[in-house]
Amino acid sequence: MSADGGGVPTLRLDKFLWFARLARTRSAAARLCAEGRVAIAGIAAFKPHQPVRIGDWITVEQGRWRRRLRVMALGERRGDTAEAHRLYDEPEPPQPVVREPWVALLEEEVGA
């Protein structure tokens, strides 16, 4: 954990996603970012080193679901599931990702 210029504690986005158990590995978290499946405050976060602060809203696309989370704490390690859930608040259930019909056909064809 580090602090930005204003002394506010921050954590790398890929670490937060991993600590919060939203990605199995840090590399998987980085891949989510590179693919444009993660946004902070509605702005796509393509870089895994993007800083996350307490109070930020993060949107994550996981497969066919989109989750919107509010950062409640910055973790110091990857703990168990209960510890991971204390890092964020999810006020609404995951929403299905709406894709164009032709995109779904391509995903089925590729086997994604």
Query: What's the pLDDT tens digit per position in 29-84?
Result: 999 999 999 999 999 999 999 999 999 999 999 888 999 999 999 999 998 999 99
pLDDT of residue 103: 62
Q: How many domains does the chain have?
A: 1
The domain containing residue 86 runs over which residues?
2-110
CB 30 within 8 A of CB 48: yes
Q: pLDDT averaged over the chain? A: 88
Where residue 15 sits, what CATH number does that domain have?
Answer: 3.10.290.10
pLDDT of residue 3: 62
Whether the predicted pLDDT of 4 surpasses 70: no
Between 21 and 103, whose confidence is greater? Answer: 21
Whole-prediction pTM: 0.81
CB 87 within 8 A of CB 16: yes
| CA 104 to centroid of chain Cα atoms | 23
| CA gap 39, 104 in Å, rounded | 22
CB 68 within 8 A of CB 59: yes
